[in-house]
């Protein structure tokens, strides 16, 4: 490209492709992801929230662990998300996964990057970002793994490398008929460390799109710890 064409290209592109709000599609100034209305509608997760799973709590206590995280502890030390999976956020995750709007990964990764500032991740340096894998069949249907996209977009911002030691080998469709314990075991059996899966002594940050029950992240964390990982924490784009 000649030296004259390059400076002209950007304004020309924005003329044909003006910036749009990632939530509602309304035109926004360049460099802005969300219009003011969509931005205001986002439910941010602020303390007090469960130290383990980030479930917000309406009371006035500085730190607490929710009933879900008592006793039958998760294998990850904590799971962080800075926004709730509701409204515009929920739609964006849906559009990324099922509408193939890959570009939304960049916007979601922005919130994940905010999550890296959470006190629970501040004094802990992950060696790598680890995407929760999709089953190969689902990967063929969808053509991409949204957790991969989120990892790579986050990696571009924060510089932590992406490492994919996990693979998923069983299609877990019968989850609904199982109780909590059965669901956990079923999921746990679905993940294995792949051939390049040496995780010995690594501090790993598991990445997925949404945390709901935490059982998928738990299963992945269990496999990573069994494989010799030093510690596992989790970060998701949103929390259910």
- Specify the 3-state DSSP secondary structure of 179: coil
Query: Residue 217: which of 178, 190, 177 has the closest Cα?
Result: 190
Closer of 105 and 133 to Zn ion (Cβ): 105
Number of neighbouring beta carbons within 10 Å of residue 43: 16
Select from 2-10, 68-76, 77-85, 222-230 the region that touches Zn ion (CB under 5 A): 68-76
Taking CB under 5 A as the rule, does residue 129 contact Zn ion?
no
Taking CB under 5 A as the rule, does residue 217 contact Zn ion?
no
Provide the mask over 9-48, with x wherever binding to Zn ion is found by CB under 5 A and - wherever it is not.
Answer: ------------x-xx-x--------x--x----------
β-sheet with 128-131: strand ranges across: 79-80, 231-239, 203-211, 128-131
CB of 140 to Zn ion, least distance (A): 33
Taking CB under 5 A as the rule, does residue 50 contact Zn ion?
yes
CB of 77 to Zn ion, least distance (A): 12
Which listed residue (19, 42, 66, 116) binds Zn ion by CB under 5 A?
66
Q: In which element (H, E) is residue 191 found?
A: strand 191-193
Closer of 63 and 173 to Zn ion (Cβ): 63
Q: How many residues bind Zn ion (CB under 5 A)?
A: 13
The DSSP annotation for 27-85 comes to B--TT-SS-HHHHHH--B--SSBBTTT--B-SS--SSB--GGGSSS--SSS-EE-SBBS
Tokens standing for 43?
Answer: 């439910």
Q: Which residues bind Zn ion (CB under 5 A)?
A: 21, 23-24, 26, 35, 38, 50, 52-53, 55, 66, 68-69
């Amino acid at each position: 490209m000649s030296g004259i064409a390059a400076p002209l290209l950007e304004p020309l592109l924005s003329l044909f492709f003006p910036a749009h709000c990632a939530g509602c599609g309304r035109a926004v100034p360049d460099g802005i992801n969300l219009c003011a209305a969509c931005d205001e509608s986002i439910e941010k997760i602020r303390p007090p929230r469960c130290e383990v799973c980030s479930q917000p709590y309406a009371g006035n206590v500085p730190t607490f662990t929710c009933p879900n995280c008592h006793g039958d502890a998760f294998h990850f030390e904590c799971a962080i998300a800075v926004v709730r999976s509701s409204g515009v956020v929920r739609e964006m995750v849906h559009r990324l996964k099922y509408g193939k709007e890959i570009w939304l990964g960049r916007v979601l990764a922005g919130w994940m990057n905010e999550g890296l500032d959470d006190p629970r991740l501040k004094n802990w340096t992950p060696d790598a970002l680890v995407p929760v894998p999709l089953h190969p069949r689902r990967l063929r249907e969808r053509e991409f793994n949204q957790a991969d996209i989120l990892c790579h977009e986050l990696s571009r911002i924060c510089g932590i490398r992406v490492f994919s030691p996990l693979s998923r080998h069983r299609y877990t469709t019968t989850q609904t008929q199982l109780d909590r314990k059965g669901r956990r075991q079923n999921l746990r059996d679905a993940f294995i460390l792949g051939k390049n899966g040496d995780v010995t002594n690594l501090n790993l940050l598991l990445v997925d799109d949404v945390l709901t029950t935490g059982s998928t992240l738990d299963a992945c964390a269990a496999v990573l710890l069994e494989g010799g990982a030093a510690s596992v924490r989790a970060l998701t784009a949103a929390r259910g």
